[in-house]
């Protein structure tokens, strides 16, 4: 069995808050087998973090039963040291390299190749996730709470959308064990606006719902009686507040707001279509689509969005343990919450489609997370 893996590591301060990221693919280089964000510690260097990224990948490849391992890193130092072309003087790295070579010796075939950072974006994003977790107090080790499932036991097939409207017997989730208080988030994307209908980037603009958007909000309100929500929390932008208020009036609940649930700031691309933004900044726009650390001119990166949405989700879980919360937000934050519940890396958001006024359902508890449904539009009467 052959696997292809990309690894990275970083330190904010060098030495400082450090983490590593690793993604392991099947032989096709496309199918993801493992994504690992690992907290290295609060006093480590870039190079030590990069070695940890390599080690976590080698351990995953071994556990998966790989016999051939093809490795790519953007650390010239680690690549040359593991290849035996450069000497290792740092005592910490000597130990890490020794452990790496011990695992490598168990494979039939191993190769390691340097690649530029631009070709190592998934691992880089995972290492940033790990550094964020480290800064937030996560102990040394693989990031699990909120960012990875607590178990690798395969989940059962997704339930039909209608099942999310009624309580599911606990026996159906027995494979998860005792979860403790579970916070369910029903994620409702706001209804249509004139900007969404024109396919324009709409982040900080406080756009109103269009007539179609108001109809979508009313449809969500009619469905809300089946959701049994305990609270409603919305982005402060009007298109979300108006959508949330339609539901709140139907279920007799007030609408609270959380600033961290607002949409990504698209900066100079605000109000432009995809093609217009690309014509304005062709190289930057292409890089932004591929690299989560890049922000639009004067705007916000995907990584920055993730950090604040993570704070918003943790606040909701702390505030509403064991409750069901309707979260009314935008496509960017909702995709990020789905990514958090899936326990995957930043690239996941590029593989999720969300209709206007769609509903997705996720759950979080102290040591894990679960996705129940994505992009349910049955309440809108759509196919």
User: Which three-class secondary structure string do you get for 93-129?
Assistant: HHHHHHHHHHHHCCCCEEEEEECCHHHCHHHHHHHHH
pLDDT of residue 271: 96
Given the structure tokens 């988030």, which residue do they identify? 185
**Domain 2-142 has what CATH class?**
alpha beta
Answer yes or no: 290 catalytic.
no
Catalytic residue among 35, 70, 165, 263: 263
DSSP 364: E
Reply yes or no on whether 287 is catalytic. no
**Which of the following is catalytic: 35, 138, 165, 190?**
190
Q: Give me the CATH topology for the region 171-380.
A: Rossmann fold (3.40.50)
**Phi/psi at 64 (5° precision):** -80, -10
pLDDT for 208: 96
| Whole-number CA gyration radius for the chain | 22
Distance CA 297, CA 295 (A): 6
| Domains of the chain by residue range | 2-142, 171-380
Query: In this structure, how many other beta carbons lie within 10 angstroms of the beta carbon of residue 275?
Result: 10
User: Is 204 among the annotated ligand-binding positions?
Assistant: no
356 in Cβ contact with 334 (< 8 Å): no
Local confidence pLDDT in tens for the 383 residues of the chain? 999 999 999 999 888 999 999 999 999 888 889 999 999 999 999 999 999 999 999 999 999 999 999 999 999 999 999 999 999 988 888 999 999 999 999 999 999 999 998 889 899 999 999 999 898 889 999 985 333 333 333 333 344 444 444 444 444 555 566 778 999 999 999 999 999 999 999 999 999 999 999 999 999 999 998 888 999 999 999 999 999 999 999 999 999 999 999 999 999 999 999 999 999 999 999 989 888 889 999 999 998 999 999 999 999 999 999 999 999 999 999 999 999 999 887 888 888 999 999 999 999 998 789 999 999 999 998 65
């Amino acid at each position: 069995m052959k696997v292809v893996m990309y690894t990275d590591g970083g330190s904010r301060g060098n030495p400082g808050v450090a983490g590593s990221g690793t993604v392991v693919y099947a032989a096709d280089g496309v199918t993801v087998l493992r994504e690992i964000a690992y907290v290295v510690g609060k006093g480590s260097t870039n190079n030590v973090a990069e070695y940890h990224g390599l080690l976590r990948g080698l351990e995953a490849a071994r556990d998966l039963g790989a016999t051939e391992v093809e490795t790519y890193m953007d650390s010239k130092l680690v690549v040359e040291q593991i290849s035996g072309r450069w000497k290792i003087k740092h005592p910490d790295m000597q130990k890490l390299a020794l452990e790496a070579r011990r695992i490598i010796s168990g494979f039939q075939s191993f190769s390691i190749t340097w690649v530029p950072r631009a070709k190592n974006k998934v691992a880089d994003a995972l290492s940033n996730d790990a550094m964020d977790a480290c800064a937030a107090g996560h102990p040394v080790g693989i990031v699990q709470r909120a960012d990875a499932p607590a178990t690798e036991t395969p989940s059962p097939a997704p339930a039909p959308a209608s099942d999310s409207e009624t309580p599911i017997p606990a026996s159906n989730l027995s494979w998860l064990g005792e979860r403790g208080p579970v916070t369910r988030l029903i994620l409702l994307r706001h209804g249509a606006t004139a900007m969404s209908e024109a396919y324009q980037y709409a982040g900080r603009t406080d756009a109103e719902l269009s007539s179609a958007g108001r109809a979508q909000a009313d449809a969500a309100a009619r469905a809300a009686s089946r959701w049994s929500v305990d609270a409603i929390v919305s982005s402060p932008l009007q298109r979300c507040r108006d959508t949330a208020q339609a539901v709140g009036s139907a279920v007799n609940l007030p609408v609270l707001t959380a600033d961290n649930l607002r949409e990504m700031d698209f900066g100079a691309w605000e109000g432009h279509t995809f093609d217009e933004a690309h014509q304005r900044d062709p190289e930057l726009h292409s890089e932004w689509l591929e690299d989560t650390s890049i922000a639009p001119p004067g705007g916000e990166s995907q990584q920055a969005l993730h950090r604040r949405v993570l704070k918003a989700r943790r606040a909701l879980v702390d505030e509403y343990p064991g409750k069901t919360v309707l979260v009314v937000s935008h496509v960017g934050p909702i995709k990020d919450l789905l990514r958090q519940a899936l326990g995957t890396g930043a690239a996941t958001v590029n593989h999720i489609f969300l209709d206007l006024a769609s509903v997705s359902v996720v759950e979080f508890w102290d040591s894990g997370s679960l996705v129940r449904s994505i992009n349910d539009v049955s309440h809108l009467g759509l196919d």
